[in-house]
Structure 1
Amino acid sequence: MIRSDTNHDAIDEVVYLQAYAEGWSDGKYEIKFDKRECINGGRFYERADDGKWSGWFFTYTNVRARQFSCVSIQGDSNTLADLVERDHSEAMSLFIDRAEAILHSSFGDSYYWEARRSMRYAKHLVEIGDKFRSEKLNSNDVSDKTVLDKSWVETKKVRRSF
């Protein structure tokens, strides 16, 4: 059993975000969230002898939470904001675990893709990758038609699927 005398302060609530166990309804993506039974969250948190919850709080072993719940969610950052406003507005401290389940509101817009296209690996990493591809895969940018322009600004979307 976990000792409860190591922390006198606690996080008010932990919300463990998860996908819906049943996936999308009828193959249709829908913005929604519901408090649900934990799919995996219960593996990462356990209740201490004083009723508080312990888990992995960025290596801080003495941190506890007063409440713990799992929420299935499909949506973006606005959906998460709605969840917090509706169900957790009274919490003084709230720990959102697995926030990578949330898409940001502007995912896929022109600014997102501009930022995405501008990303480049460091030159020394490209050289290591090129050497591996050449030696192990008999592959290179020219034969694979993956040559990048010197400047990302010059890169244009080209459809090559047919």
Structure 2
Amino acid sequence: MYLITFLVALFYVATSVQEEYCQLKTDSCSQDVTEKYLFYDVNPPEGFNLRRDVYMRFAIMLAEAQGTGKRLNWRLVLPPWYNLYHWKASSSKSLPIPWSAFFEVESLQSYAPVVELYSIFEKTKDKELILDRVYVLQNYADAFKDGVFTEKWEVSDGCKYTGYWGYTNVTSNEVVCINFQGKVSKLWEIISLHPQDKNVMFAHGEIPLHDSYGTKNYWDCRRSMRFNENLISRAEKFISKHLDCHTKLCNNYISIHWRRQDFAQYRKKDVPSIKGTARQINKAVKKFNSYIDKVFIATDAAITSLRNLELELTQLGYSVHYFIPTKTEIEKYKDGGIAIIDQIICSHAAYFIGTHESTFTFRIQEEREILGHDSSTTFNRLCPDSGPCEKPSKWTIVH
């Protein structure tokens, strides 16, 4: 066992040195300069907004490597949006959806060398894609052994992968199980085990951590995640028509992300009741700007709960608004697009209150930082009716 471990380590050192040498020798090195592709996937139950953060980890990983002149021939393949657990519309589950449906891919490419998966199919024979290797990442059973978090990885067993985003024309030559803990850039060590591989994939891409969360690189990447122009236009039309605001930074309405469903069921200590929600909104408005009388609500609540909250707020003198897409809009924008429209409307508001530890709220807070709102109007949360209420962390923009 010790001999095998030593040989693996020796092989890694040798290939890493060779790869680093080839990356620096741009003229005379015999390294294959053919484009190579880095794929990743995310645990199926994870939602849309967490997946956006996972994308950033991989995009930053590649952009930072290329910023130092290394791995210049690598491209990051954008995994299609497919069969997300929280998406309810049948059209959102039927076929893999490209990133261009939700984001401006040219803007993403201004930060990192990314490509859509369908463009890879166009380069393959009979539109079939064979990955050299799929590394299935797994958490260690004990992340804090002896009370210390140590970056490490090892080849393991007991895993399988049958995903490939719903495509039947994608296969792999080998599936390798990897116990992993650490930052995303450490994945380069695993890739270097087989330097000749051209198509490498990591399943469970949510396991590796950001190398540096909240840094300038983080925010440069985040700013490049510009929404699809159709979604921006639809949100701005709603804001203009229903909320009577015609600027990027509105001053006449407050927005709320009111997470219910699973949060109301499993995290009752973190969320308020319907009456408690109305009281907190009213208190926030009176403290911030008592002239505001419009409230926009983004929520996953059942329509009966939403109507009850609307009634409570109406009795307090507010006009309540929420975006209800038509059937045509649901087919056009899909669940992901509807969520983005909600987030855009929330991001333009004069004041925002979110839900504790919700990635949907996190993405709105980031949008508001990019737009230039004062942070005091952004990092606010709905508190439970009683008991402690931890203040939200403030991750302010870095220019």
SS at match of 2:147: coil
**Is 2:179 aligned against 1:59?**
no
Contact 1:149–1:155 (CA under 8 A) maintained in structure 2? no
1:104 corresponds to which residue?
210
CA distance in 2, matches of 1:82, 1:127: 43
* Matched residue SS, 1:26: helix
Instruction: Give 1:88 shift.
Output: 2.9
Greater share of helix: 2
Alignment correspondent of 1:34: 154
- Unaligned runs of 5+ residues in structure 1 are 1-6, 46-54, 117-121
Query: Is the Cα contact below 8 Å between 2:128 and 2:169 reproduced in 1?
Result: no
Q: Secondary structure at the match of 1:73?
A: strand
The alpha carbon displacement at 1:61 in A equals 1.6
Local SS of the residue matching 2:185: helix
2:145 is paired with a residue whose SS is coil
Percent identity between the two aligned chains: 21
* Correspondence list, 1:1-162, <5 A: 10-38=130-158, 41-42=159-160, 45=161, 55-85=162-192, 87-109=193-215, 112=218, 126=255, 129=258, 136-139=274-277, 140-141=280-281, 143=283, 150=351, 152=369, 153=372, 154-155=374-375
Aligned counterparts of 2:284 and 2:138: Cα–Cα separation in 1: 38
- Normalization by structure 2: what TM-score? 0.27
Shift of 1:36: 1.2
Question: Which amino acid in 1 is paired with 2:215?
Answer: D
Amino acid at match of 1:18: Q
Give 1:75 deviation, angstroms: 1.4
Task: Report the Cα offset of residue 141 of structure 1.
Answer: 3.6
Change (3 A) 1:102 1:134: closer
The count of aligned residue pairs is 133
Letter matched to residue 203 of structure 2: D
CA distances 1:78-106 after superposition (whole Å, capped 9, x unpaired): 21122212x23221211111111112222
- TM-score, length basis structure 1: 0.60
Cα 1:134–1:23 change in 2 (3 A) is closer
For structure 2, the 5+ residue unaligned runs are: 1-126, 224-234, 244-254, 260-270, 289-348, 352-367, 381-389, 393-399
Corresponding residue of 1:51: none
* CA-CA distance at 1:128 after TM superposition: 7.2
Looking at secondary structure, tell me which structure has more strand per residue.
1
How far residue 134 of structure 1 moved from its aligned partner, in angstroms, is 8.6
Q: Quick one: which amino acid aligns to residue 74 of structure 1? A: Q
User: Higher relative contact order at CA 8 Å, sep ≥6: structure 1 or structure 2?
Assistant: 1
CA contact (8 A) 1:14 1:65 kept: yes
Partners of 1:17 and 1:134 lie apart in 2 by 37
